[in-house]
Amino acid sequence: MKEKILQATTYINEKFNSSPEIGLILGSGLGVLGDEIEEAVSISYSEIPHFPDSTVSGHKGKLIIGQLEGKTVIAMQGRFHYYEGYSLNQVTFPVRVMKQLGIESIIVTNAAGGINESFHPGNLMIISDHINNIGDNPLLGKNDETLGERFPDMSKAYDPKLIQHASDCAKELNLQVHKGVYAANSGPTYETPAEVNMLRLWGADAVGMSTVPEVIVARHAGIRVLGISCISNMAAGILDQPLAHSEVIETTERAREDFLKLVKKIISTIPK
Ligand code: HPA
């Protein structure tokens, strides 16, 4: 794996030879932030050595490296999901590459279903912790000690200083932002109402199909993590209506002005 990471990194460095400080993973409907990156170099996943083959999922994705709010950032516009048939090693490979390129912090974003009944579609949630209910873990198998330790501590997976910083930024912008626990399922089915009730009893505030594998690998690699969910719908069974992916995308797009404002502010004043 180390060899593959180095080859991918070398390829990217040939196109952009300066170290990004912050990584961004942009979730469904939130990719627009990538378009705001200045002096941008954009690289399709399909050209990067050892990046997962995105023809599997049928959607294109790209890395965008450049300047945002005075910081050098690297953004993933589109991510790989477990439900598309990728292994968690493949899903998280870009995080390994971003680490090798030099990032110290990562902002991981997603669209999620609201489980906490005080939430409303369109709200933003700063992730305070997560529940891995995927039934898999990207670190299973032989551990490469040069990448991280065998048994990573997850007691503060989401950096307390970054959580505080994100809350402060939201307050300054007059944005109402929740804080809560994100549970990840494999998907691609949405949850049953019984599963949503179970997740609520477990302490989850929102549910989705991503983020947790990337955060596990980021922590293994010693990267500071901030997670932000856009509540795109209420989880199954809370409102008496079926869930539709089109609703998820529409609501996320409605919330994206707030999302953009918040993330840009977080980046412009991110603490060391
Ligand atoms: N469940 C799982 N994943 C999701 C949801 C949901 O309700 N909304 C957006 N992603």
- At 127 the three-state DSSP class reads strand
Range ranked top by mean pLDDT from 21-35, 59-73, 176-190, 247-261: 176-190
Mutation to probe ligand 1, out of 234, 243, 253 (largest number of atoms < 8 A from CB): 243
Beta carbons within 8 Å of 127's beta carbon, 6+ residues apart: 108, 158, 179, 180, 181, 182, 211, 226, 227, 228, 229
User: Measuring from atom 5 of ligand 1, which residue has the nearest CA?
Assistant: 113
Active-site residue set: 28, 59, 81, 83-84, 111, 209-210, 233, 245
Whether 3 has a pLDDT exceeding 90, the answer reads: yes
Q: What is residue 56's predicted lDDT score, i.e. its pLDDT?
A: 63
Q: What percent of the chain has pLDDT over 70?
A: 98
The Cα–Cα gap between 98 and 267 comes to: 17
Q: What value does the mean pLDDT of the chain take? A: 95
Structural domain harbouring 126:
2-268
> Which pLDDT belongs to residue 58?
62
For ligand 1, atom 6, the nearest C-alpha belongs to: 113
pLDDT band at 214 (very low <50, low <70, confident <90, very high): very high
Token pair recorded at residue 36: 């705001």
Based on the structure, what is the number of domains in the chain? Answer: 1
pLDDT at 245: 87
Minimum CA distance residue for ligand 1 atom 3: 208
- pLDDT at residue 36 tops 90: yes
pLDDT (0 to 100) of residue 192: 97
Higher pLDDT: 109 or 254? It is 109
Confidence of residue 159 (pLDDT cuts 50, 70, 90): very high
CATH of the domain at 36: 3.40.50.1580
- Using pLDDT thresholds of 50, 70 and 90, give the confidence band for residue 57: low
Residue 212: per-residue pLDDT: 98
| pLDDT (mean) for 195-208 | 98
Summarize pLDDT for 111-130 with one digit per residue, the tens.
999 999 999 999 999 999 99
Give the Cα separation of 71 and 128 in Å (integer): 25
Mean pLDDT (whole number) for 226-243: 94
* DSSP label at residue 114: E
User: Which has more pLDDT, 54 or 117?
Assistant: 117
Read off the tokens for 232.
Answer: 């795109």
Ligand 1 pocket by Cβ (under 6 Å): 111-113, 190-191, 207-209, 232-233, 235, 243, 248
Whole-number Å distance, alpha carbon 177 to ligand 1 midpoint, is 18
Confidence of residue 17 (pLDDT cuts 50, 70, 90): confident
Mean of pLDDT values over 183-208: 98
